Amino acid sequence: MKRLFALFVIFPLLFAAAGCTSGEKESTETKTEETGLTDEEKSKFYNSVRVAELKVNEVFHKEVAADEKTPVINASFSDEESAVSFLSKYYSPDLAKDIYTHYATENNTEDGQMIVNEEPYFSPSVLDTEKEDAEIEGDKNKASVKTENITYQLELQESRYMVTSIEK
């Protein structure tokens, strides 16, 4: 008799607990739909912008000429095709070309290395910001990341977030 009574008490409690858990999931999903992006998704977009800028620095701000002052293009990306191809992993092809065009000059060092424009393409740099400083809006496939003076548009392409446009 005690076992039967215990079953009658336990079953309603289990169903009530299951109902509460289900309700919590629904309210979380509703909040995500209302805001568009979860904190994890916002972090992915923000970090994608940071990584993309680091890749530009890898190509154009990493090496200097023998005089240790003159900025030159990274020897691994010494021609336009290789530099744009590398940047196209993080930026749309048109944007990668635009970034290359910003930095490329017709001047070379005595060793034949291309001297690059010292003026940074990104000013101010997203690397000088925190995620909390950025406004990130959109959905999990397409979003914008707005920092102090620059807005980056990103899209999910081939399982990675690609910067498709930059508005200064």
CATH of the domain at 86: 3.10.450
Report whether pLDDT(4) > 50: no
Q: Tell me, yes or no, whether 9 lies in a domain.
A: no
| 7 domain-assigned | no
Q: For residue range 104-113, what is the model confidence (pLDDT) as tens digits?
A: 999 999 999 9
Name the 3-class secondary structure at 25.
helix
Question: Residue 10 — pLDDT band, cuts 50, 70, 90?
Answer: low
Band of the pLDDT at 36, cuts 50, 70, 90? confident
Choose between 30 and 160: higher pLDDT. Answer: 160
Each residue of 127-144: pLDDT tens digit? 999 999 999 999 999 999
Asked if residue 3 has pLDDT above 70, the reply is no
d(CA 109, CA 59): 17
- Whether 23 is in a domain gets the answer no
Domain of 48 in residue numbering reads as 38-167
Element (H, E) at 137: strand 135-139
- Counting Cα atoms < 13 Å in the Cβ hemisphere of 105 gives 16
- 30 pLDDT exceeds 50? no
Sign of CA dihedral 124, 125, 130, 133: positive
Domain presence at residue 83: yes
The residue assigned the tokens 């397409």 is 142
What is the reported pLDDT for 35?
52
140 found inside a domain: yes
Chain segment 77-89, per-residue pLDDT in tens? 999 999 999 999 9
Q: How many domains does the chain have?
A: 1
Confirm whether pTM is higher than 0.85.
no
Residue 46 lies inside a defined structural domain of this protein: yes
Read off the pLDDT of residues 42-75 as tens digits, 9 standing for 90 and up: 999 999 999 999 999 999 999 999 999 999 999 9
The pLDDT value given to residue 26: 45
Domain assignment of residue 45, yes or no: yes
Residue 149, domain member (yes or no): yes
